[in-house]
Structure 1
Amino acid sequence: MLTIRYFAGARAAAGVTEEQLPAGQDLTQLIKELGAAHGDGLSRVLLSASFLVDGLAWHDRRAPLPSGATVDVLPPFAGG
């Protein structure tokens, strides 16, 4: 299983704080699955979001996500 945690605008778009999904996919597949499950609002957020896997920035969207990992979805933040 994977634990998906949403922050800020991603949380608002997903309508949940956290969810569990089956392991065995890469980030590209996960993004498609999340967009299909939660709709266009989250799909738009995911296009510009950053992702942490077990606390580390995950840049290779084709690398398999480790089973048991926590994936944090971080939308762009506005600074001030």
Structure 2
Amino acid sequence: MTDRTPLVTTATLTVRYFAGARAAAGRSEETTPAGRSLDDITAELAVRHGARLEAVLRVASFLVDGVVCHDRHTPLPAGATIDVLPPFAGG
């Protein structure tokens, strides 16, 4: 007997945290559902992780698949990687 139930997968993307963002999130990486904008995702992450990460996200830069993200309103595709880069001190 074989199970013919369709496999249901959730399309996700990966969020990677660096430096102060990693400390504020309490982790280096996590996944979140795809198909939403960067603004939607950062709002969700702020709620999930609290005020400390929210403050970092307000001043962070974001790379989507290695490219600086200037459009915070377009839905991001499944499989994308978002890098959260807080401002770095020094030169």
- After TM superposition, is the score higher than 0.5? yes
1:56 equivalent in alignment to 2:67: yes
Supply the distance in 2 between the matched residues of 1:6 and 1:14 (Cα, whole angstroms).
8
SS in 2 for 1:68: coil
Structure 2: which 5+ runs fail to align?
Answer: 1-11
- Structure 1 segments of 4+ aligned residues over 2 angstroms from their partners: none
TM-score by structure 2 length? 0.86
| 1:41 corresponding residue in structure 2 | 52
Q: Which has the higher contact order (CA 8 A, sep 6+)?
A: 1
Q: CA deviation at 1:63?
A: 1.3
Q: CA deviation at 1:12?
A: 0.1
How many residues align structurally?
Answer: 80
SS in 2 for 1:31: helix
| 2:8 corresponding residue in structure 1 | none
Query: Which of structures 1 and 2 has the bigger CA Rg?
Result: 2
Q: What percent identity do the matched residue pairs reach?
A: 64
1:2 equivalent in alignment to 2:13: yes
Alignment RMSD (CA, Å): 0.7
Amino acid at match of 1:54: D
TM-score by structure 1 length? 0.97
Q: CA deviation at 1:7?
A: 0.0
